[in-house]
A = this chain, B = another copy of it.
Amino acid sequence: MISETPQRRTKKDVLAEFRQAEILAAAQGVFAEKGFAGASVDEIAQAAGVAKGTIYLYYPSKRDIYFAALREGLSALAAKTQEKVWGAETLHDKIRAYVETKLRYCDEHRDFFKIYFAELGNMVTQHETRDSGFEKVFLDQVALLEDAIRLGESLGEARDLPARYVAFAIANLTRGAVTQRLVGWTEGSIEREVELLVDLAWKGISSQ
């Protein structure tokens, strides 16, 4: 009996996790298409193939679904970016790793990125977003670059510049490029775009 309880519990949890993931995926699609305000819980339920009540068995509110969708994609992206940047040797390669990871990830997770960038925009007006520990994840990404640049400077790879500003600049360059792809203003191979962006950034910061 004592040994059975944890087993059943696990089985139940697996099912619950499956449902949660199912709902989350549906929600991501709907939010990406209509934005937070434009999406209704009924729509999400329909997309997930369940009744509205079921949604509320797994998430306490609409906002929670939204943040869950955001958090899921965001932490995966952050982890991947960190891995790639840390794995690169030189500053040049680190910058390429940063830009490339974001651009590729965007191509594979368009829905997530739509939500992500819409939310970044809303952070300016809606304060709620900023208190959700979500600002931090974004700033951590910048810090990743900042550290790399500091290191590069000390090794003489880059000229002496305020690392924080430069890190923001590269992050902004990348964010813009991704946005333009999402909106359809830019086309062409990712490789070429990465090349161009890294080239620009590198010329801007390298010590000759």
Interface, chain A (partner B; CB < 8 A): 31-38, 113-115, 117-126, 130, 139, 161-162, 165-166, 168-169, 171-173, 175-177, 179-180, 182-183, 185-186, 193, 196-197, 200-201, 203-205
Contacts and interface: CB of A to CB of B under 8 A. Distances in A.
B196 A200 contact: no
Chain multiplicity (copies): 2
Given A121-B119, A173-B173, A126 B203 contact: no
Contact of A168 (B125, B171, B180): B180
A149 B177 CA distance: 18
A35 B120 CA distance: 13
A200 B124 contact: no
Given A175-B176, A176-B172, A162 B204 contact: no
A173 B169 contact: yes
21 contacts: A32-B125, A34-B125, A35-B122, A37-B37, A38-B125, A113-B124, A114-B125, A117-B124, A124-B182, A124-B183, A161-B196, A162-B196, A165-B186, A165-B196, A166-B200, A168-B180, A168-B186, A172-B176, A200-B204, A200-B205, A203-B203
